[in-house]
Amino acid sequence: MSEHRQPVRVGISCGDLNGVGIEVVLKCFEDPRMLADVTPVLYCSTKAVSHYRKLLKLEEVQFHGVADARDAQPRKLNVVCPWEEEEAVPEPGKPSAALAAFAIKSLEAAAQDLAGGKVDVLVTAPIDKNSMQQAGFAYPGHTEYLQHMAGGDGEVLMLLVGDGLRVGCVTGHIPLKDVSAAITMDRIVAKARLLHQSLQRDFGVVEPRIALLGLNPHAGDGGALGSEDKERIAPAARRLNDEGIKAMGPYAADGFFGNGSYRHFDGVLAMYHDQGLAPFKALSFGHGVNFTAGLPIVRTSPDHGTALDIAGQGIADEGSFRAAIWLACDVRMNRERYKQIGANPLQPQKREKERKEG
């Protein structure tokens, strides 16, 4: 980032207090160089942060408690507590609906401050979805909650980003038995349009190339192994190309990743969750980022979950969380540039003409 740019104010929801969220935050900002270009604001209690700092022997990591995100200080890890300090006592590794209630409060506070302009972007630490729903969280996950908070029912797209890969999914968290019925030509086209828009606006790709993966083995083998590829995915690709979107496919998913074909595309649209995420995590786990395309705000998260099995042991890798912070900053910058490019292209010429005439 340019030395003339203001540090990006990064709001961070703490996620599950019994998971690895606070650990990866502390490890990330253990390196003071991270604070040169970002001003982090962690929504959590200072006592919970102190608990993990002591448990994990990360005493050198300094943090600063503030009452309001507007008071966040540069070059410090700022902590805003959205509940009474004494209420939450972490128990690393244990699923807990009681403590998941604090993850909800953290997310709500971070989202409100993002909407209010107190922070610029949002990075969400992992949550335990089962515990969250037991605690009264009315959404399947972060994406649906933020979509609701943004005030729209429009399309959003979960996009996994890392090591040159950008993988989205037509269907998300639904049972495998329901996938085929959920994959329609209209839905494929809508998700591909959103991916195309995100590649341009969020990633600065001028003419994106998008690969559509097939649903069935060998992309259906011409209909011998299922009709969806021939009757829904291939026509969707044709419609997208008629609209000026460079979409190709369907590609057999195994060979597509196995032979490196993914390297020739700017984005990949998988038909269902594991079809896209399994190869992505095999290729980029530990450095990948979950980005929600289609939202008016910028939100990222690490590509791993709460990791309750290793929570509190000091072995969680902060690489994905660090990548999530940098991607959020990059997307914000790319959106600013995209907005400038989309402004009236005649204005600069008009100003130059006025300058010469004046």
Name the DSSP class of 207. S
What size, in residues, is the chain? 358
Q: What is the pLDDT of residue 173?
A: 82
**Average pLDDT, whole number, for the chain?**
92
Q: What is the pLDDT of residue 148?
A: 87
Regarding beta strands 299-302 and 121-124, do their DSSP bridges make them parallel or antiparallel, or are they unpaired? parallel
Angle between helices 142-149 and 97-115 (to 10 degrees): 40
d(CA 168, CA 212): 10
Regarding beta strands 209-213 and 267-270, do their DSSP bridges make them parallel or antiparallel, or are they unpaired? parallel
For a pLDDT cut of 70, what percent of the chain falls above it?
Answer: 94
- Of 141, 223, 221, 159, nearest to 196 (Cα)? 159
Q: What is the pLDDT of residues 51-95, one digit of tens each?
A: 999 999 999 999 999 999 999 999 999 999 999 877 788 999 999
191 Cβ partners below 8 Å, 6+ apart?
155, 157, 168, 169, 170, 269
Angle between helices 185-201 and 234-242 (to 10 degrees): 50
d(CA 14, CA 43): 6
Point out the least confidently predicted range of 122-126, 219-223, 239-243: 219-223
Q: What is the pLDDT of residue 3?
A: 47
pLDDT at 231 over 80: yes
Report the DSSP beta bridge partners of residue 9: 39
Q: What is the pLDDT of residue 349?
A: 54
Band the pLDDT of 2: cuts 50, 70, 90: very low
Structure tokens at 61: 């990591």
Q: Tokens 């690969």 appear where?
A: 211
Q: What is the pLDDT of residues 140-169, one digit of tens each?
A: 889 889 888 887 667 889 999 998 899 999
For a pLDDT cut of 90, what percent of the chain falls above it?
Answer: 81
pLDDT at 350 over 70: no
Q: What is the pLDDT of residue 144?
A: 86
- Structurally, at CATH architecture level, domain 155-292 sits in 3-Layer(aba) Sandwich (3.40)
Structure tokens at 282: 């095999």
Q: Is 136 exposed, middle or buried (0-12, 13-18, 19+ CB in 10 A)?
A: exposed
Q: What is the pLDDT of residues 87-144, one digit of tens each?
A: 788 999 999 999 999 999 999 999 999 999 999 999 999 999 999 999 999 988 898 8
pLDDT at 358 over 60: no
Read off the pLDDT of each residue in 225-239 and give the average, rounded to a whole number: 96
Q: What is the pLDDT of residue 151?
A: 74
Side by side, the strands of the sheet bearing 38-43 are 63-65, 77-80, 38-43, 8-13, 121-124, 299-302, 289-293, 157-162, 165-169, 267-270, 209-213, 246-251
Regarding beta strands 63-65 and 209-213, do their DSSP bridges make them parallel or antiparallel, or are they unpaired? unpaired
Residue ranges covered by each domain of the chain = 1-154+294-358, 155-292
**What is the Cα gyration radius of the chain?**
22
pTM of the model: 0.89
- Structurally, at CATH architecture level, domain 1-154+294-358 sits in 3-Layer(aba) Sandwich (3.40)
b/e string for 276-314 if b means 16 or more Cβ within 10 A? bbebbbebbbebbbbbbbbbebbbbbbbbbbbbebbbee
pLDDT at 191 over 60: yes
Same fold, 1-154+294-358 and 155-292: yes
Read off the pLDDT of each residue in 218-225 and give the average, rounded to a whole number: 90
Q: What is the pLDDT of residues 244-282, one digit of tens each?
A: 999 999 999 999 998 999 999 999 999 999 999 999 999
State which H helix or E strand residue 268 sits in.
strand 267-270
pLDDT at 27 over 50: yes
Read off the pLDDT of each residue in 27-48 and give the average, rounded to a whole number: 95
CA 3 to chain centre: 26
State which H helix or E strand residue 130 sits in.
helix 129-134
Q: Report yes or no: 300 and 159 within 8 Å, Cβ to Cβ.
A: no
